[in-house]
């Protein structure tokens, strides 16, 4: 899960505009006198985007604000029109590469970080009623799904799941591969 | 007997960087000698404290020692407790003040050693048998303690690399044995094994290779 | 790395990776500020995992509120990195507490004698210290609470 705050630039002819971002979680509102916390990496920056993933790390509503500055002058804060909660994050289907290595059904997945699980479903082509599922945590290399029957075609699809927000993505495209050897009819 | 500190003038510079180095729950205290003092004549004394109690405990093995480490596994073997330790230096009738270690939580601050494992192979399969990692044991003659008794979530991440095809597969097992079938004969497979306990507690990789046997169909007459 | 705690028919999930990572980043700095090593607030003798199961939910609820009300807001000084890590842990605690309050607290989270006694012991010890030192100690003992949650 990656979360970014983006905003439209402020233009001041002949001046270098810098931006600073602060965040406030529900804790800060309810227990810490509505305090705001600066994001160090997004203080005095010139780009109009800030990676807030590290700070939006709980499933509670957050408020965020940004202001522009030129020298010692600073604008008013611009804040979100409504709170942001990471449960609203959209999960895209995982990139998946399915290969047959002799009799072995292998799957390669992209690395998405510790928050993610991959739910991988596979079945013999034509036997969609008997689907196997494997849950894989953070994966870094090719995963061994199963040993296939000779000459048989197997199909695979996958989705991502994030426990922290109890949400999953849509399925990836189905990919099918065939084991080596002759099928036993 | 340890020189009585109160009779001495403690003006020596203190030992530095006192900290625990723990591997598989063998908890050894390390430190650096005081700055600017010839090391060969220095002696040290170590005490430790169970966090939440007031009594600093002497460890008989760690009194009047000249090395800059001492094994406190015996005194820190209760994993439910947390500990602090401290070190004082003595030289020619003078001494330093105590230097204290950061708080030490054996369960989360220990490092896990890469596990030992054995490989065997047949024509088209290999077997991986992992030796269950042991922890420090109070008395080597006793029944050893095993990491999986202390960490119930312990599992092994095993990777199998086909050196001919350059393909690597990952397996994740709870038991300490893995059999992989339908492999290629006469091929070298390299295996790595890692102990995995929780997201912030896992071992390094241990590695070994083995060749599957030559295909029996082509045995010389 | 999501630990699920079951209290009766109520289930609460705790993101252990997030909490341990957040605390690990501030552990040494926080614990080094705690000079009172002879005092321990979260004693092994009254841990969450060996609390009677019917009192566990209430005791856990007390602990969450204790940290939210008495501890985190006393530990917001320090550099920006420290502030953000405390915020990360605090908002995760709040998320857990909100999940817990969604449970049917009348039946699931009833507060028996054991839960009240254990919490009182912690609070009494906490109130014997000056508030900032006590808050720093409580924050420094977060790994003990995380171990309790892991074992529950």
From A32, A114, A162, A79, select the one nearest C91 (Cα to Cα). Answer: A32
B166 min Cα distance to partner chain A (Å): 11
Interface check for C44 against chain B (CB to CB < 8 A): the answer is yes
pLDDT for residue A112: 75
Report in angstroms the alpha-carbon separations of C21 from C1, C63, C89. Answer: 11, 20, 9
Q: How far apart are CA A121 and CA A41, in angstroms?
A: 40
Of C17, C88, C91, the CB nearest to A26: C91
Backbone angles phi, psi at B200, to 5 degrees: -110, 15
Distance from CA of C30 to the nearest CA of A (A): 19
pLDDT of residue B220: 46
| Closest CA in chain B for residue A103 | B182
Question: B200 — contact with chain C (CB < 8 Å)?
Answer: yes
Residues of B in contact with C38 (CB under 8 A): 49, 52-54
- In the prediction, which pLDDT does A40 show? 94
DSSP, collapsed to helix, strand or coil, labels residue A65 as strand
Q: Mean pLDDT over residues B75-97, rounded?
A: 93
Both tokens of C145, joined, read 């609470």
Whether residue B137 has pLDDT greater than 80: no
Task: Give tens-digit pLDDT for C88-147.
Answer: 999 999 999 998 888 766 566 888 899 999 999 999 999 999 999 999 999 999 999 999
Mean pLDDT across B187-196: 95
Q: Is B143 exposed, middle or buried (0-12, 13-18, 19+ CB in 10 A)?
A: exposed
Residue of chain C minimizing CA distance to A29: C91
Residues of chain B with C-beta less than 8 angstroms from the C-beta of A114: 199
Tell me what pLDDT residue B205 has: 94
Task: Name every residue whose Cβ is closer than 8 Å to that of residue B203 and which is 6 or more positions away in sequence.
Answer: B111, B112, B113, B114, B115, B133, B194, B195, B196
- ipTM computed for the complex: 0.81
User: pLDDT tens across C44-73, in order?
Assistant: 888 998 998 888 999 999 999 999 999 999
Q: What is the per-residue pLDDT for C105?
A: 60
Average confidence score pLDDT of chain A: 90
* CA pair distance C12, C100, nearest whole angstrom: 6
A84 vs A92: CA distance, rounded Å = 19
User: Across the interface, do C94 and A27 touch by the CB < 8 Å criterion?
Assistant: yes
Contact A128, A157 (CB under 8 A): no
Alpha-carbon Rg for chain C, nearest whole angstrom, is 15
Report how far apart, in Å, the C-alpha atoms of A139 and of each of A118, A158, B155, B170, B189 are.
8, 13, 15, 9, 21
Q: Does A114 contact C81 at a Cβ distance shorter than 8 Å?
A: no
How many Å lie between the alpha carbon of A49 and the closest alpha carbon of chain B?
30
């Amino acid at each position: 899960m990656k979360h970014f705050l983006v905003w439209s630039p402020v233009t001041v002819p002949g001046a270098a505009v810098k931006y600073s971002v602060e965040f406030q979680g529900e804790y800060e509102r309810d227990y810490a006198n509505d305090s705001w916390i600066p994001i160090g990496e997004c203080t005095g920056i010139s780009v109009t985007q800030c990676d807030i993933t590290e700070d939006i790390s709980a499933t509670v509503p957050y408020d965020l604000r940004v202001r522009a500055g030129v020298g010692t002058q600073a604008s008013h804060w611009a804040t979100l029109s409504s709170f942001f909660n990471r449960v609203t994050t959209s999960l895209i289907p995982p990139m998946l590469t399915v290969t047959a290595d002799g009799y072995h059904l292998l799957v390669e997945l992209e690395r998405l970080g510790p928050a993610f699980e991959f739910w991988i479903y596979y079945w013999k082509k034509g036997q969609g009623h008997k689907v196997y599922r494997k849950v894989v945590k953070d994966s870094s290399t090719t995963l061994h799904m199963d040993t296939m029957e000779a000459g048989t075609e197997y199909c695979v699809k996958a989705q991502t799941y994030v426990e922290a927000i109890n949400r999953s993505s849509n399925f990836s495209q189905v990919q099918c591969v065939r084991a080596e050897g002759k099928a036993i009819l | 007997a340890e020189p009585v500190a109160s009779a001495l003038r403690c003006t020596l510079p203190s030992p530095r960087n006192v900290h625990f180095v723990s591997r598989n729950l063998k908890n050894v205290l390390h430190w650096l000698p005081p700055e600017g003092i010839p090391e060969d004549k220095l002696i040290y004394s170590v005490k430790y404290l169970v966090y939440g109690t007031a009594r600093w405990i002497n460890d008989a093995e760690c009194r009047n020692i000249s090395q800059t480490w001492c094994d406190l596994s015996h005194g820190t073997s209760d994993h439910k407790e947390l500990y602090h330790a401290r070190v004082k230096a003595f030289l020619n009738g003078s001494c330093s003040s105590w230097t204290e270690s950061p708080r030490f939580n054996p369960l989360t601050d220990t490092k896990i050693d890469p596990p030992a494992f054995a490989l065997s192979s047949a024509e088209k399969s290999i077997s991986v048998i992992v030796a269950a990692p042991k922890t420090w044991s109070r008395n080597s003659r006793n029944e050893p303690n095993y990491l999986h008794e202390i960490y119930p979530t312990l599992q092994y991440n095993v990777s199998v690399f086909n050196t001919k095809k350059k393909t690597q597969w990952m397996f994740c097992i709870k038991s300490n044995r893995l059999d992989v079938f339908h492999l290629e004969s006469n091929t070298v497979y390299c295996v790595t094994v890692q102990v995995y306990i929780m997201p912030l507690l896992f071992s390094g990789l241990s590695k070994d290779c083995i060749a599957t046997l030559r295909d029996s169909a082509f045995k010389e007459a | 790395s999501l630990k699920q705690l079951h209290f009766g028919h109520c289930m609460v999930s705790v993101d252990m990776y997030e909490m341990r990572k957040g605390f690990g980043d501030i552990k040494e700095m926080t614990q080094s500020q705690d000079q009172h090593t002879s005092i321990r607030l979260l004693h092994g003798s009254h841990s969450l995992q060996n609390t009677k199961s019917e009192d566990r939910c209430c005791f856990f609820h007390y602990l969450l509120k204790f940290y939210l009300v008495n501890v985190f807001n006393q530990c917001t000084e320090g550099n920006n990195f420290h502030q953000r890590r405390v915020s990360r842990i605090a908002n995760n605690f709040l998320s857990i507490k909100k999940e817990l309050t969604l449970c049917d607290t009348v039946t699931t989270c009833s507060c028996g004698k054991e839960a009240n006694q254990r919490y009182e012991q912690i609070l009494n010890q906490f109130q014997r210290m000056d508030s900032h030192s006590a808050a720093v100690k409580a924050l420094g003992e977060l790994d003990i609470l995380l171990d309790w949650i892991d074992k529950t």
